[in-house]
Chain A
Amino acid sequence: MSGYAGVGTIPRLAHTGRVTQARVALSEWTKLRSLRSTRWSLFAAVLLTIGFPVLFAFVTSSHWGSMSPSERADRHPLDIALAGVNVSQLAVAVLGVLVITGEYSTGMIRASFSAVPKRLPVLWAKTLVFAAVTLVLMVPSVLAAFYASQAILSRHHILQTSMSHPGVARSVVGGAVYVVLVGVFALGLGAIVRNTAGGIATFAGIFFVIPPLMNVLPASWNTAISKYLPSEAARQLFSLTHDSSSLSPLWGGLLFAAYCAVVIALAAVLLLRRDT
């Protein structure tokens, strides 16, 4: 390391612009793309989304001959095509938490809020950029998962469906939207908790711990409450069958979007009130 420039050469800046929401969004895009954790998490999400359906399609094809009729009847092509969504949601949720908690754990948040002291534009930009990036990656991923698993199954002439069947296109695209919203939900939790481990634990608690706990409740309570849980409401986006114990895809999706909005709004209020 050498070479400080001579002093007296501190260059003046011809023009300094004001902070705008669009500029903060561009800045957040730079932050997101310049970290390894982003690349790895998103790579994992894409790989899992496509990889699991391909794997399950192969396994199902090769075992089809030895399956009982009832077992065959249990298999559904969409369960295979969307098998990766349940796994990739984890990678995206962890990244969602990290997008904000990574700034707190490293101290970057002080630089971010010094540049944008109004703070809220940072939260909006993070949410928007993260949602856009995951959406752009997840939609092609679920489509690839669907067509790849169908192509493998079609060689054995089993479990064929098509995008034109009722509910299929909605379920497939719904799988991508599900992952994106889960990521946004996790980002909001991260902004509230401001700690990576705490953020991931909170997410896991809401999505994976609370739902099974409902089974302890009396059955009537369980059916009345469970469908309104964030995880259950969100799942309707990509589940093909719906009955009285579940919300419709539209209402489930809207309810989970509302949960996301509440979490982000709470994060926004706390962001303005808390010291950094």
Chain B
Amino acid sequence: MIEAAALTKDYGDKRAVDDLSLTVRPGIVTGFLGPNGSGKSTTMRLILGLDAPTAGNVTVNGKHYRDHAAPLHEVGALLEARSLHGGRSAYDHLLALAQTHGIGRSRVDELIDLVGLREVARKRAGKFSLGMGQRLGIASALLGDPSTVMLDEPVNGLDPEGIHWMRNLLKGLAAEGRTVFVSSHLMSEMALTADHLIVIGRGRKIADMTTDEFVSQASGNVVRVRTPQAAELEAQLAGPDVTVKPLERELLEVRGLTARQVGELAAAKQIVLHELTPQQASLEEAFMTLTRDDVEFKAAEPEEAVV
């Protein structure tokens, strides 16, 4: 369980996280979505106490992360930025982390096997591919058998087999009753794993709802209409908030009106309809619709200040 209240973080005069309040619950996978530079990584660093908030408060299982006696048992985190010394072997890296909590070598071996790094465990981690580094990061995150698992862009650099494994891992962790908090800038990836979504843009919360709600709310009114009188219907539908796009000779895509409105209007004007279908926008479209302003703003701005 992660609870943030009015969390704000400034780096110089750039506000990375802006009055962000959120609750991440156990037993489900919560997706943390936002364009690059929207404050996801910063929020995760604030949760771990790596950075101190400018204002606001964040707790894990009711306490500040730093006040837990066995922090790795509370939160296992994979951060987006590399968090290991490339000169050290995977085994020694995990061992050094394990030893801070009195966790034994057998646990280190167990996790190396879990993420499939057995053959390279004694090699310097600096030589690892992105995917292997990512798996080592997962092993570090799970080392302390944490009640909350927090992963920043975990599928980055994974091969298809690894991505599939990651999805199942996340669902499995949630099914065990753990709190699973996963960030991504890829909506489609989240659609397959997350039960709940928190969307941020420019450090502010844009949406906080179940994945299903998110799709239906953000998709807007898009209706496909098939009619032999396409030109006639197009003229009738025209209005300030309505856009009509011909897809084929007799097929129109109408934005800004419901199927019901289109149907009633066609009946009133005695236009024949062969098809009238409400369209569900893809998650990717829904996400882009929601965050469009933030992305546009972002393009004119310098990169996120990362410390």
Contact = CB atoms under 8 A, between A and B. Distances in A.
B50 A23 contact: no
A155 interface: no
Contacts of A275: 45, 50-52, 307
Chain A contact residues: helix, strand, loop or mixed: loop
Contact of A8 (B66, B85, B172): B172
Contact of A18 (B69, B87, B165): B69
Contacts of A109: 83
B88 interface: yes
A143 to B, nearest CB: 31
A37 B82 CA distance: 20
A27 B87 contact: no
Given A5-B116, A23-B99, A108 B50 contact: no
Interface stretch (A60-68, A114-122, A170-178): A114-122
B88 A2 contact: no
Interface string B102-117: 1100010011011110
B48 interface: yes
Contacts of B82: 106-107
Contact of A113 (B50, B68, B84, B307): B50
B78 to A, nearest CB: 10
A107 B65 contact: no
A12 interface: yes
Nearest to B172: A7
A111 B168 CA distance: 25
A12 B107 CA distance: 9
Contact of A114 (B50, B96, B110, B132): B50
Contacts of A5: 113-116
A102 B110 contact: no
B143 to A, nearest CB: 8
Contact of A7 (B95, B101, B116, B165): B165
B119 interface: yes
Nearest to B92: A34
B49 interface: yes
Nearest to B69: A18
The 4 closest A-B pairs by CB, nearest first: A17-B102, A13-B145, A117-B66, A34-B92
Given A28-B96, A106-B86, A113-B48, 19 more contacts: A1-B120, A3-B116, A4-B161, A5-B116, A10-B169, A13-B144, A16-B72, A17-B70, A17-B101, A30-B92, A35-B88, A106-B82, A108-B84, A110-B81, A111-B83, A111-B93, A117-B48, A117-B71, A276-B307
14 contacts: A5-B113, A10-B114, A18-B69, A27-B96, A27-B100, A34-B92, A106-B85, A110-B83, A111-B93, A111-B140, A114-B48, A114-B83, A117-B48, A275-B52
Interface of A: 1-5, 7-13, 16-20, 23-24, 26-28, 30-31, 34-37, 102-103, 106-111, 113-118, 275-276
